[in-house]
Structure 1
Amino acid sequence: MKILVTGASGNVGRYVIEELLSMGEQVVGAGQDIQKIKDIFKDTIDAVHFDFTNKGTFHQALENVDRVFLMRPPHLGKPEDLYPFIDAMKSHKIKLISFLSLMGVETNPIPPHHKIEKYIEAAGIPYAHIRPGFFMQNVSGVHSVEIREKNQVFVPAGNSKTSFIDAADIGLSTAILLHEPNKYRNTAHTITGPEALNYDQVAEILSKVTGRQITYAKPGYLKYRRHYIKDRGLEKGYVNVTVALYFMTRMGTAKEVTDDFVKLTGRHPRSFEEFARANVNSFI
């Protein structure tokens, strides 16, 4: 049987697929842009058109599949948007869902991940939640624009600390869970990087790596939200979710450092400085 990977061309999905292929698994990559998936993976996987808001795409995506990597697309802010597909997975007798959740979400009902976890569990589908800290790719991705153009890290995280993790490490952890569904049935794993950094420290590391003076702007929520919606043109629902996450970060929910990654993989997670050096072109 095959493993379905939603968000196949995304930051985490592509790493999940690469690791699963190295383990000898057969993979179905799902997303709205089939050509993009084919361009990345060629003929090494099956590619299917998939849309959480279109039930007509569910059956083909789940055909001959017994395990699923489930990722909530950033533009779907309501947990209810994923419920129909979770119901479909139950009727297909999926033997493990690995849901890309969020660190600390088990005690934090604000982000949509909390209700999605609970819905999966209530449906009675075997699960292995993966609860990572903030992605390093958030810094090299959506937040890199201000770093390149203004020499600023522009996020409303205050003085809080974050135990950033590389998406490649998330992909490896998730692939292990999906590869051994019986071993990890009905489990949850909080994976983080090796250290917790505040954003002044992030700016210091980026300054060292790029050779430029980069500072932490420390914007308030309203300034951040206005900039990302009006100036950057990002979708309001997506920005609102990030505001909620940074609010919780200020409450200390992102600073925990765990050894779950080491326990799962036998390796040490990548540090932020290692990541920044490997991805320096994102910041220059």
Structure 2
Amino acid sequence: MKILVIGASGNVGRYVVDKLLEKGEKVVAAGTNLENLANLFKDRVDLVYLDLIAQDSFDQALEGVDRVFLMRPPHLGKPGNLYPFIDAMKAHGIQLVSFLSLMGVETNTIPPHHKIEKYIEATGIPYAHIRPGFFMQNLSGIHSTEIREKNQIFVPAGKSKTSFIDAADIGLSVATVLHQPDKFKNTAHTITGAEALDYYQVAEILSRVTGKGITYAKPGYLKYRRYYINKRGLDKKYVNVTVALYFMTRMGTAKHVSNEFFELTGKTPRSFEEFSRANLTCFI
């Protein structure tokens, strides 16, 4: 049987695919842009069209599949958007679904991930939730523009600390549980980097790696929100979600350091300095 990977071209999904292939699994990469998926994975995987809000695409995507990597696309803000697909997984007898959740969501009912986890569990589908900390790719991706152009980290996180984790390590964690569905049935795993850093420390690391004088701007919520909506032109709903996440970060929800990545994989998570050196071109 095969493993369906949703969001296969995304930050985490592409690593899930790669790590599953390394483990000898057969993979079906799902998405709405099959040309993009074909360019990314060549002939290493099967491809299938899947739109999580188009129920007529579900059966074909789930045919011949016994395990699923499920993530919530950023544009689907309501938990209920995913419920029909979860019901379809139940109807197809999926043996394990690994849902990309969020660190601390078991006690934090605000993010949509909380209700999605609960809905999966209520259906009786065997699950292995992966609850990562903040992605290192947030800095090499969405926030890299200010780092490159202004030598600034522009996020409203105050003095809070974050246990950043590389998306590649998240992908390995997901592949590990999907590769051993019986062992990890009905489990949840909080995975983080090996240390918690505040953004002043992140700026110091990036300054050392790039040779530039990078500072942490520490904007307030309103200034951050106006900038990303008006100057960067990002979708208002997306920016509002990031504001909420940084608000929770200031409450200390992102500083927890877990050893579960090592317990799952037997490997040490990548440090932020190692990540920065490997992705230097994103910051200069």
CA distance in 2, matches of 1:208, 1:259: 27
- Give the Cα separation in 2 of the matches to 1:226 and 1:174: 36
Q: Distance in 1 between matches of 2:244 and 2:115?
A: 15
2:236 is aligned to 236
> 1:46 is matched with which residue?
46
Unaligned runs of 5+ in 2: none
How many residues align structurally?
284
Q: Deviations over 1:222-243 (max 9, x none)?
A: 1111111121111122111111
Letter aligned with residue 55 of structure 1: Q
Q: Which amino acid aligns with 1:139?
A: L
For 2:21, the equivalent position in structure 1 comes to 21
Question: Shift of the alpha carbon at 1:102?
Answer: 0.5
- The equivalent of 2:104 in structure 1 is 104
Higher alpha-carbon deviation: 171-180 or 226-235: 226-235
> What pairs with 1:103-142 in structure 2 (closer than 5 Å)?
103-142=103-142
Question: Share of identical aligned residues, percent?
Answer: 74
Pairwise CA distance, 1:60: 1.0
Matched, 1:224 2:224: yes
Which portions of structure 1, spanning 4 or more consecutive aligned residues, are displaced by more than 3 angstroms?
A: none
1:125-158 superposed Cα distances (whole Å, 9 cap, x missing partner): 1100000000000000000011111111011111
RMSD: 0.7
TM-score, structure 1 as length reference: 0.99
User: Which segments of 5 or more consecutive residues in structure 1 lack a partner in the other structure?
Assistant: none
1:2-30 CA-to-partner distances (Å, cap 9, x unmatched) read 10000000110000000100111110001
Deviation, 1:251, is 0.5
Q: Structure 2 counterpart of 1:204, which letter? A: E
3-state SS, counterpart of residue 106 of structure 2: helix
1:76 and 1:237 in contact (8 A); partners too: no
Q: 1:11 & 1:75 partners in 2: Cα distance?
A: 15
For the residue of structure 1 that corresponds to 2:126, the secondary structure is coil
Q: Please tell me whether the aligned partners of residues 110 and 244 of structure 1 are also in contact (alpha carbons under 8 angstroms).
A: no
The alpha carbon displacement at 1:206 in A equals: 0.5
1:200-248 residue CA offsets vs partner (Å, 9 max, x unmatched): 0001111111111111111111111111112111112211111111111
Q: Which moved more, 1:78-87 or 1:272-281?
A: 78-87
Question: 1: CA distance between counterparts of 2:155 and 2:225?
Answer: 10
